A and B are shown apart, each in its own frame.
Chain A
Amino acid sequence: MINKLPANIDEMMQPGVLCKDGFLGADKRLVKDIIEEDLATIKKLGMSVDEISDRMTELTAKGSDLMEREVSVENRYSIKVRDDRGPAPDPFGGSPQRKGDTLLKDYKTGKAVVWNDLTIHMIREYGFFGGRGEKYRIEPDVLINILGLSK
């Protein structure tokens, strides 16, 4: 986890800077406050960002290299991994990530969620799950439940 956020991180997260809709949704909080609150939730649930991002990576891998064919895995999920060309820049200044959404339907909870490699990277490296209302944000407690990680 980085100790110091880039000075212009809140600006980098705005719509139209690095991607069309930005990373904050309707959330008016500062990025550092979003991160702090989500990390506190995770800690309360006895989880770490590594456990969460590792599991997301594991599930994405099960749907990758199938050229967007939908697959059923673990008798619980249906996964389809989109594969788009070009890099997705990291607003925190880290390595650009591969473009392409992972669409996951969880038959156990009845929920459908979407993430991509940049979402996973930002959770792992910075504890950033997105601002509320942002397309890729999944509330940490909901995500932990969908990923089957609840303790």
Chain B
Amino acid sequence: MYKIIVNNGEQEYTSEGDESVLAALARNDVVLPSACGGRGRCGMCRIRVFSGGSAVTELEEKKLTTEQLENKWRLGCQTMITDDISIELPGQLIGSAQYECTVEDIEDLTYDIKGVRFRMPEGKSIEFKAGQYMQITAPAYGKNKKSVYRAYSIASSPSEKDHLDFCIRKVPDGMVTTYVHEHLNVGDKATLTGPYGDFYLRESNREIIFIAGGSGLSPVQSIVLDMIDKKINNRKVNFFFGACTKEDLYYVEKFRALEKEHSWLHYIPALSNETDVGENCEEGLITDVVDRYYPEFTNHEAYLCGSPGMIGACLKVLTAKGLDESLIFYDKFS
């Protein structure tokens, strides 16, 4: 039996060997990020290995820079347990846990986004910061021979400790989103791991700009609901939600009702590919709409959630008008 010593002894696990660090940690509910199922193709399961473990593989030499290798970085999926091993993991992974949740509700939010509500296991509750994400596991199904997991932002408020909501967009050929959209049913069990991520509201007195697109609405909704629950009403919030057509909009009524109840919240949906956007909706790319709204940024901070392209475009607009990059928060999921 070998020891896996984590973060200078903060945690310790055991392994009989003949498995990767990724697999050994997963057995102990510590799930490293991965998009390739532990095949050394995505390079996401990075850990630092101070002693022990198998030799560096060819795949790791491709995925990691010389500097990273010199600084003891390895891929968890390629590092085999051959003896006692001492590793370092990001602190947030230690606090995460694995839950066997039950699907309580699934609803079509748009033609390609589903809202999924999970109930926590009996007697268990979850603590997370609004804006964080969980990994949802799809078991082996169809031609997929192994279970795989992907990251999704939580859409519900942290005060709701017995449930978790998500908005999940179907990705073409996506292994987990296809499972969620085509195979997952109410009453099914599903494995969720987390919470993870450092996308959350910073304490300050600055005005808040939320910019989201598609399923990026989830963490923004979680933060707004959390602000309401915590009675944080001294900060003005403008929430810009970008979509192409009316069919891509969802939760419009919900946010309209919230802004009616809470004067600090202003919800601004924008459509980029409609000739008639209708009332209470802006026309154009979300970046153009934000650009029109603000002549300059004086006392603001921005939170972005959406595709990498949207985030890149928003960064250009915000920084061009003087918003310091240190006041712009985002989670690219890439």
Where the two chains meet, the residues of A that have a C-beta atom closer than 8 Å to any C-beta of B are 12, 14-22, 64-70, 81-91, 93-96, 98-101, 135
Residues of A within 8 Å of B308, CB to CB, are 83, 85, 98
Of B24-32, B34-42, B89-97, B221-229, the stretch lying at the interface with chain A is: B34-42
The 21 listed contacts between A and B (C-beta, < 8 Å) are: A12-B39, A12-B41, A18-B36, A20-B173, A65-B312, A67-B213, A67-B242, A67-B306, A67-B307, A67-B310, A67-B313, A68-B244, A83-B306, A84-B307, A85-B333, A86-B151, A87-B35, A87-B42, A89-B36, A96-B42, A98-B308
From residue A6, how far is it (CB to closest CB) to chain B in Å? 9
B112-123 Cβ-contact flags toward A at 8 Å (1 or 0): 000000000000
Given A65-B309, A67-B242, A67-B272, 10 more pairs with CB closer than 8 A: A18-B37, A19-B173, A20-B175, A20-B178, A65-B313, A66-B309, A67-B287, A82-B172, A83-B306, A93-B41
User: Which of B59, B62, B215, B286 counts the most chain A CB atoms within 10 A?
Assistant: B62
Q: Which of B17-54 contact A (CB under 8 A)?
A: 35-37, 39-44
Residues of A within 8 Å of B151, CB to CB, are 86
Residues of B within 8 Å of A90, CB to CB, are 41
| Chain B contact surface mostly | loop
Residues of B within 8 Å of A69, CB to CB, are 244, 272-273, 285
Residues of A within 8 Å of B36, CB to CB, are 18, 89
Pick from B35, B173, B272, B306: contact of A21, CB under 8 Å? B173
Interface presence of B263 (CB below 8 A)? no
Interface presence of B74 (CB below 8 A)? no
Residues of B within 8 Å of A83, CB to CB, are 306-310
Q: CA–CA, A92 to B215, complex, Å?
A: 30
Closest to B174 in A: A20
Residues of A within 8 Å of B145, CB to CB, are 16-17
Q: When the two chains form their complex, are residues B41 and A96 in contact, meaning their CB atoms are under 8 A apart?
A: yes
User: Which of B169, B244, B309, B332 counts the most chain A CB atoms within 10 A?
Assistant: B309
Sorted nearest first, the 10 A-B pairs with minimum C-beta distance are A83-B307, A16-B144, A89-B41, A15-B143, A85-B333, A16-B143, A89-B36, A83-B309, A89-B42, A69-B272
Interface presence of B142 (CB below 8 A)? yes
Q: When the two chains form their complex, are residues B35 and A96 in contact, meaning their CB atoms are under 8 A apart?
A: yes
Interface presence of B171 (CB below 8 A)? yes
Residues of A within 8 Å of B140, CB to CB, are 16
From residue A24, how far is it (CB to closest CB) to chain B in Å? 12
From residue A80, how far is it (CB to closest CB) to chain B in Å? 9
Closest to A89 in B: B41
Residues of A within 8 Å of B178, CB to CB, are 20
Interface presence of B280 (CB below 8 A)? no
Interface presence of B230 (CB below 8 A)? no
Q: CA–CA, A135 to B173, complex, Å?
A: 9
B98-141 Cβ-contact flags toward A at 8 Å (1 or 0): 00000000000000000000000000000000000000000010
User: Which of A64, A83, A85, A96 counts the most chain B CB atoms within 10 A?
Assistant: A85
Q: CA–CA, A12 to B307, complex, Å?
A: 27
Closest to B170 in A: A84
Interface presence of B326 (CB below 8 A)? no
From residue A146, how far is it (CB to closest CB) to chain B in Å? 20
From residue A98, how far is it (CB to closest CB) to chain B in Å? 6
Q: CA–CA, A125 to B43, complex, Å?
A: 19
Q: Which of B232-264 contact A (CB under 8 A)?
A: 242, 244
